[in-house]
Amino acid sequence: MDFQLSDTQTAVQDAASTICNGFGDDYWLARDRDGAFPQAFYQAFADAGWLGICVPEDHGGVGLGITEAAIMMRTIAESGAGMSGASCLHINIFGLNPLVVHGTDDQKRRALPAMIGGRDKACFGVTEPNAGLNTTQIKTRAVRMGDRYVVDGQKVWISTAQVANKIMLLARTTPLADVKRPTDGLSLFYTDLDRSKIDVREIDKMGRACVDSNELFIEGLEIPAQDRIGEEGRGFDYILEGLNPERILIASEGVGLGHAALRRAADYARQRTVFDRPIGQNQSIQHPLAVNWMELEAAWLMIRRAAWEYDQGRPCGASANASKYLAGEAGFNACQQAVMTHGGFGYAKEYHVERYLREIMIARIAPISPQLILCYIAERVLGLPQFLLMTYDYIIVGSGAAGSVLAERLSRDPAVRVLVLEAGGPDRNPIHLLPKGFYFTMNSPSYVKSYETERYGDGRTDRWIRGRVVGGSTTINGMMWNRGWAPQYDAWERAGNTGWNWERFLHAFKALEDHELGGNELRGEGGAVPVSIAGPREPVSEAFIAALARHDIGFLDDMNASGEERVGYTCSNIRRGLRVSASRAFLGKARRRRNCTLLDRTEVSRILFDGTAATGVEATRGDEKMAFTARREVLICAGALESPLLLERSGIGDPAILAAAGIPMRVHSPRVGENLHDHCGSTLFQLRLKGSGGYNPQLNSPWRQAWSGFKYLFTRTGVMSFGGHNLVTVFKSDPASPHPDTQGFFTPLSSSAVDPSTGRPVMDRFPGAMFGTYPLYPTSTGSIHVTGPGADDQPRLVPAIPTTEHDRALTIKIFHKTREILATEPFAQLVEAETVPGAALHDDAAVLDYAINTGGRGFHTTGTCAIGPDADDVVDDRLSVRGTSRLRVVDASVFPAMPSGNNNAPTMALAWIAADLILDARTDVE
């Protein structure tokens, strides 16, 4: 980079200086007093051709770069014309760029010569009073009607509108609710400023009186379609291209005005005599002015660098922003010091420096504040953590299985800002790494949220729990990686949900997995989720496997490798004896990127909308209420219990339910909260074993638990190193069943009692085993709905206990088949007695009553925001909430039926697929 001005640049500087010499300080003082537009000054630059300094020569311009434009604008401001002289020419330098780059030949022929020659004056209509810097939220609408657009709206801080006959106008042509991203649907026009349709009201302001600033009220403005610049809906992209040149030129003017003030201060300090000597002889005068000079020259060097980078086609965001900041601060300091150097006379208009001080505020605060520039440099250049923005591209509600996967996938693009909101606290406690730690955490209010069910059966209520901690339920669950098999997934597509099939899920599973057995056509390798197999093999479990073999239920090394009847050691998301939750597999990686922010202990109370377009969320953190804005999408990943409640609190649901809860309806969606499925009414058999086999002898006293823990700490092996169950089996309750309909979990450990003070199971003192079973595909459904508008209002939860004839009959058949398996050799010879439910229970009616009133539940809730092709289904096959835009639900609540497995793996796979959908729908605007 050459710091010496070229011959061309010197010629630009000299030409601008010559013109400015004809308009001295008295001219600008008069314009400041009378507020008249500096027409003679403007026309002088037009006559000399300099209004087209950056317009290509083949369009009638001079064809120079931003570097030459910066030199010209500095010269103008430094002459004493200040921001008044610079601002009257501004739009011709950077404002015409969209027209030059994207305009048609006809538009350029009609517009550019008249602008360059000064016959037309244009104003730039973008900013709106209720949008500010958030341009995507502008309300001005342009509706296409044949070959014209009809525009209604309002603009603010529009310069030169009092004298302009043209306007470059940004308006929304597609409603925000109907676009995939908020920057879409904005169109740019260059058209006549029709004062019969545009009411222009001048704003009385601090400085730069001769260049007016205005509010515009637009009603019924008709714009010919031929006046639209470029493609409809691409206007935001077009104006982005002028942001860096604008900052460079504003910075140049700030430096020029600062030098004008410094020159006057130095002249006054040399001439003003107090106590028989010039005041400039005092170091208290000298030193601040010397600092001003150094600051201005440093700013100018940064401007030269930014302009050079722009003209060379290089990235210049950092230097353009730095130029704007340094010039604004340096110019302000110089103007303020000039006033102080003049003492009382600095307050007098005839000395001009008070005018400089008023005008330099423009370079300091517009078009971007110093604070935002500092944030940009800190985060984009220095890589420092992002400060708590209130506006993000994507807002993810929930950090569980789905939210963590989405955060990692979406934040891979460094230009995208992602916010993850989690109602629970951090997952830093080492107990969350211990696979058997869920025995302690699943009943801890520090890590779970409880939901009390409605009464059912013989009047019983139940307490359902979900993870309320970073990582969600994947931080406190049994870690089973049970994917299910093809028929159920393919059934979802056959029901009308395009693309939701086994092939797609299998692709996602393989992308997620790093399987202990290595990758093949059915499992993945190298993914973020470790899949380990419980072990080592032990005698009680081996005897149970042998018993199942006598029922033609074969053993598989990988339980996820078949859809037939089978048994295998449990696959779990554990690596080297440590739990790997979704947070540790995905969210931790995302959080190490500076464009992803996690806020824990933040409860989302409702979704915010503009009409039916989701714009953000309202949340509470401690005692503080806050609102966050999403530029692109709001992604609800709060789980099958919380997601429907959040939709209902936001006005999406059944009108009667919303009205009863005191919530205004926004979108009619009667299926929200319905279709709740779970593995309810499961039967758990507990057995007393002969001899000393199984795990009870290792865990049934505090010192044995301590010893097992001690061994685990040093070896990461043993009973503490894997999850809740040794074996998983899938089988038919009846040989006549067309497919496996039952899932069971076996472990050589029993716990017939619960500690009433903690709610935790107590290991039996004797050797034992347990085997729990439930229907794979229950047809009974429950529901969950709000009872009030607040997040703390207890919902009405109706559990999905066996109520259909199918489920009731299947529950009975499963009970008898389970007992038959337990009575099969060689396992049967190890059993001393059935302790729960006990041999006395065998009558079908009693079995069903027992399953309903004392049976367990799987914590596998799904279906409450189910996907489907019908108008009443909550989400469509893009997971978008029907009746809204920019809002998706991505969690187990969208499953239309139970997957033939547990929720952990299918929900992560769902989120992986959803990330593909979101990324496919997005175009990067930066």
Contact indicator for 555, 566 with CB cutoff of 8 Å? yes
Dihedral angle computed from the Cα positions of residues 646, 651, 657 and 663, in that order, rounded to the nearest 10 degrees: 100
Percent composition of the chain: helix, strand, coil (DSSP 3-state, to 5): 40, 20, 35
Residue 97 sits at φ, ψ, to 5 deg, of -55, -45
Kind of pairing, strands 418-421 and 596-599? Answer: parallel
| Host H or E run for residue 38 | none
Q: Using alpha carbons, select from 262, 290, 266, 285 the residue that is nearest to residue 275.
A: 285
Rounded to the nearest 5 degrees, what angle is found at the Cα of 69, between the Cα atoms of 67 and 72? 115
Give the pair of three-digit tokens for residue 362.
């423009």
Contact indicator for 166, 192 with CB cutoff of 8 Å? yes
Catalytic site positions: 860
- The structure tokens 């349709």 sit at 197
The DSSP secondary structure of 670-693, one letter per residue, reads: TTTT-SBB--EEEEEEEEEESTT-
Rounded to the nearest 5 degrees, what angle is found at the Cα of 210, between the Cα atoms of 209 and 215? 70
Distance from C-alpha of 113 to C-alpha of 644, rounded to nearest angstrom: 59
Distance from C-alpha of 761 to C-alpha of 775, rounded to nearest angstrom: 24
Contact indicator for 663, 649 with CB cutoff of 8 Å? yes
Q: Using alpha carbons, select from 441, 440, 431 the residue that is nearest to residue 466.
A: 441
Distance from C-alpha of 275 to C-alpha of 544, rounded to nearest angstrom: 107
Contact indicator for 159, 124 with CB cutoff of 8 Å? yes
- The structure tokens 């006379």 sit at 345
Exposed / middle / buried, residue 849 (Cβ in 10 Å: 0-12, 13-18, 19+):
middle
Contact indicator for 609, 666 with CB cutoff of 8 Å? yes
Distance from C-alpha of 18 to C-alpha of 561, rounded to nearest angstrom: 84
| Type of residue found at 651 | G
Contact indicator for 923, 181 with CB cutoff of 8 Å? yes
Give the pair of three-digit tokens for residue 847.
């079995």
What Cα–Cα distance (Å) separates residue 722 from each residue in 576, 658, 744? 10, 44, 17
Exposed / middle / buried, residue 560 (Cβ in 10 Å: 0-12, 13-18, 19+):
buried
| Type of residue found at 52 | G
Grouping H, G, I as helix, E, B as strand and the rest as coil, residue 8 is helix
Contact indicator for 181, 111 with CB cutoff of 8 Å? no
Distance from C-alpha of 607 to C-alpha of 605, rounded to nearest angstrom: 7
Residue 524 sits at φ, ψ, to 5 deg, of -105, 165
Exposed / middle / buried, residue 195 (Cβ in 10 Å: 0-12, 13-18, 19+):
exposed
Distance from C-alpha of 319 to C-alpha of 304, rounded to nearest angstrom: 9
Give the pair of three-digit tokens for residue 430.
């080492």
- The structure tokens 């295998």 sit at 568
Q: Give the torsion sign (CA, 834, 840, 844, 849).
A: negative
> Which runs of consecutive H residues, i.e. helices, occur in 56-206?
66-76, 82-87, 90, 97-102, 105-116
Residue 144 sits at φ, ψ, to 5 deg, of -75, 125
> Which runs of consecutive H residues, i.e. helices, occur in 117-242?
235-240
